[in-house]
Chain A
Amino acid sequence: MSDRLSVFKTYKLYVGGKFPRSESGRVYEVSDSKGNWLANAPLSSRKDARDAVVAARKAFGGWSGATAYNRGQVLYRVAEMLEGRREQFVREVAEAEGLSKAKAAAVVDATVDRWVWYAGWTDKIAQVIGGANPVAGPYFNLSSPEPTGVVAVLAPQESSFLGLVSVVAPVIATGNTAVVIASEKAPLPALSLGEVLATSDVPGGVVNVLSGRTAEIAAPLAAHQDVNAIDLAGADEALAKELEIAAADNLKRVLRPQAVDYSETPGIDRMTAFLETKTVWHPTGSLGASGSSY
């Protein structure tokens, strides 16, 4: 048995529900924490970023228009699928982050639980942050959150899986679609996550995963006029500033990098960062009092 030659996995991007190689035709070497080669990952180009934005935009109408209940079911399905591939991810996370198997297992479990947490949020966030406003006039006035649109996500560099899901799940739970740049040095869990999403009823294009040089891929995304927001979690200070400046061209919503302990239960900030508030006024009028109304 021990002589059997294992079958290597070719890691590919996840764009528009498909698994393409990079348009550039290039890959880069991914090593574990000790410097051992693990796999080649696609080295995404600006054109891959462009394609991913197209896919994300195309998916936005359907995903944002789905019922919150449906989105919750889909996110829960992701947790189910992930649970089933627990062993694979424990191995990948252990290799990627240099963790013991036990610690990697804890990370994967936490990640599964994070999907469950956000699955439950889809149909509650509107009630928590929206509501009727008691305006001083004969109007019914309601504020509701709506997804911002296409969000570019620079996944955290260190926490390649829990951190990744912690930034992606809130973006899509609220109905946005995402173009995600995986951790540069540890992209494999992210690329494998694409395989989970593809089999979890997440419509193609809702999450798009790119691997490669973060700065290279992020620059065209930050400047892209059809990207509505950007999460800079995976950017260092200099890159974050540069990207924030580029993002101003179409006034993207920018979530700046901040110190986050991904093992803690998140707040709602990552959801509200990519939600707009729409306020709609409806005349009510009065019944009867004036004798002629309605």
Chain B
Amino acid sequence: MTIEKRSSAFEYAPAPESRSVVDIAPSYGLFIDGEFVEAADGKVFKSISPSTEEVLSEVAQAGTEDVDRAVKAARKAFGTWSALPGSERAKYLFRIARIVQERSRELAVLETLDNGKPIKETRDADLPLVAAHFFYYAGWADKLDHAGFGPAPKPLGVAGQVIPWNFPLLMLAWKIAPALATGNTVVLKPAETTPLSALFFADICRQAGLPKGVVNILPGYGDAGAALVAHPDVNKVAFTGSTAVGKEIARTVAGTKKKLTLELGGKGANIVFDDAPVDQAVEGIVNGIFFNQGQVCCAGSRLLVQESVQDELLDSLKRRLSTLRLGDPLDKNTDIGAINSAEQLARITALAERGEAEGAERWSPACELPSSGYWFAPTLFTNVTQAHTVARDEIFGPVLSVLTFRTPDEAVAKANNTQYGLSAGIWTEKGSRILAVANKLRAGVVWSNTFNKFDPTSPFGGYKESGFGREGGRHGLEAYLDV
């Protein structure tokens, strides 16, 4: 492993976002039927800040009995909620969107504390997208007749939703906004390492006057998620997370009438052709794999670069990586924050070590890691082939594997040579090549000359083992309608 030196005459002074905008209570309950309640068995767990390992709060831990209570509350609320005119449901969602906008700084700081991602991202990406998502689906609530699913499409009932820790509030928005717009009620389980923003969202539901039981939030571990998915009175299961768990869920709902959508892992190829706009491609590569510390299902974790420009591109990329600023996620100038948990850090570390052991060449820029918290330096692997573990397994961390190709056909073949099919990137100035390659890639989202762009109007979801169903856009309604 080689380390390159870094120095700058223009060191930016710390520019921390103020923590005082958010008031985290020492403890939180489950949010069931409009009330914060303790878990039936009284269990609690701690949510910590991954950048400091400081305990942020103690949160009630949902168990099977709580799942049942929450599903019952959601079932009870379903009749009235689904019978509301769409225009009324819409107004609730618009209220939520507005309150999210009003409280966005608070929520951004909270999310950064609980997740470890930089404030720059929560402030400029997560929170604006959360508000936009509610705003978008709010507008659908009274227009479902025109959505292309026939007249008066019906909601499914109670939606059981299990979301990951990488975009806690955004994934909540992706799940809850379309579910409510279409008239379903919701029981949502946030990830055990990032429960806080979902609990703040519960408070937003109260501020918005949302009827009791329409949204229920159950912080907890995998057992609570499994119980929710398996609950006989749940009509719809939506999950975002690992492919392994996704398969388990698919088995659980097999033979039932539950509608299922899964948004799972990926090993996205970012393909750089010799005629790429190089400087923008470098930005796209950096954004593709280091956005949110690479803990992104659609990350461009495989760089496929045309062999003829490999050296030049890697030089530029390395130079650019040397300017990345890793550290305090609350600092407004931080580019790379903390890894979400000790467990995830261990996984990234193990896979990176495996990459080295298998003979790939490892490189990181000079980068001092803080002494407490969970950190991993931006890492490049070169001399990687399709056979390397780091080219096949989803690492879910700031680790980029660099492979080369000679021709467009070879690029496509390598890009598609994975069990996943979530995302891909294409970098070339030749329009016809963009369209031809995009057409052949087996991936649900393709970014040409850009990467990691999201929008509530744009359907998102995978091919193959990256899952099925789409979130976002008109397509996203289908997952919550009986069609």
Contacts and interface: CB of A to CB of B under 8 A. Distances in A.
Nearest to A134: B457
B251 interface: yes
Contacts of A240: 255
Given A128-B148, A279-B458, A244 B254 contact: yes
Interface residues of A, number: 35
Given A133-B457, A135-B457, A282 B483 contact: no
A249 interface: yes
B450 A277 contact: no
Interface in A118-135: 128-129, 133-135
Interface in B456-480: 457-461, 463-465, 467-468, 470, 473, 475
Interface in B219-256: 243, 246-248, 250-251, 254-255
Interface string A123-161: 000001100011111010101000010000000000000
Contacts of A139: 450, 453
A278 B422 CA distance: 9
B266 interface: no
A238 to B, nearest CB: 8
Nearest to A148: B463
A251 B443 contact: no
A66 interface: no
Interface in A208-258: 228, 237, 240-241, 244-245, 247-251, 253-254, 256
Given A133-B459, A134-B457, A251 B464 contact: yes
Interface string B438-463: 10010111111110010101111101
A186 B431 CA distance: 52
Interface string A265-294: 001010000001111111100000000000
Contacts of A228: 464
Given A277-B470, A281-B448, A135 B455 contact: yes
Contacts of A237: 255
B447 A281 contact: yes
A47 B18 CA distance: 66
Interface in B376-423: 419
Given A277-B470, A278-B444, A251 B262 contact: yes
Given A278-B446, A281-B447, A281-B453, A245 B254 contact: yes
A278 B455 contact: no
A256 B475 CA distance: 20
A137 B453 contact: yes
Contacts of A148: 463
Contacts of A141: 455, 457-458
B254 A143 contact: no
A139 B450 CA distance: 9
Contact of A276 (B251, B254, B444): B444
Given A136-B455, A143-B475, A277-B475, A251 B446 contact: no
A277 B458 CA distance: 11
B324 interface: no
B132 interface: yes
B477 to A, nearest CB: 12
Contacts of A136: 132, 455, 457
A245 B251 contact: yes
Contacts of A280: 438, 445-448
Interface in A91-141: 128-129, 133-137, 139, 141
B264 interface: yes
Interface residues of B, number: 42
Contact of B458 (A245, A249, A281): A281
B483 A269 contact: yes
Contact of A281 (B132, B419, B450): B450
B434 interface: yes
B281 to A, nearest CB: 12
A97 to B, nearest CB: 28
A129 B148 contact: yes
A269 B248 CA distance: 26
B480 to A, nearest CB: 15
A136 B217 CA distance: 30
A216 B347 CA distance: 40
Nearest to B431: A282
Nearest to B243: A251
Contacts of B447: 280-281
Nearest to A238: B255
Contacts of B473: 133, 143
A279 B453 contact: no
A133 B444 contact: no
B444 A277 contact: yes
A277 B254 contact: no
A267 B478 CA distance: 15
A251 to B, nearest CB: 5
A247 B251 CA distance: 8
A247 B253 CA distance: 12
A133 B243 CA distance: 28
A143 B464 contact: no
Given A245-B254, A248-B251, A251-B247, A283 B459 contact: no
Given A143-B475, A248-B254, A279 B460 contact: yes
A236 to B, nearest CB: 11
Contacts of A143: 458-459, 473, 475
Contact of A250 (B251, B419, B444, B446): B419
A146 B148 CA distance: 18
A236 B247 CA distance: 22
Interface of B: 132, 148, 150, 243, 246-248, 250-251, 254-255, 257, 262, 264, 419, 434, 438, 441, 443-450, 453, 455, 457-461, 463-465, 467-468, 470, 473, 475, 483
Interface of A: 128-129, 133-137, 139, 141, 143, 148, 228, 237, 240-241, 244-245, 247-251, 253-254, 256, 267, 269, 276-283
17 contacts: A129-B148, A135-B457, A137-B453, A141-B458, A148-B463, A237-B255, A240-B255, A241-B254, A244-B251, A251-B247, A251-B465, A251-B468, A276-B463, A278-B443, A281-B446, A281-B450, A282-B448
Given A133-B458, A136-B457, A143-B473, 16 more contacts: A133-B473, A135-B455, A135-B458, A137-B453, A139-B450, A139-B453, A244-B255, A249-B247, A267-B150, A269-B483, A279-B444, A279-B445, A280-B438, A280-B445, A280-B447, A280-B448
Leading 6 A-B pairs by shortest Cβ distance: A241-B255, A244-B254, A248-B250, A135-B455, A133-B457, A280-B446
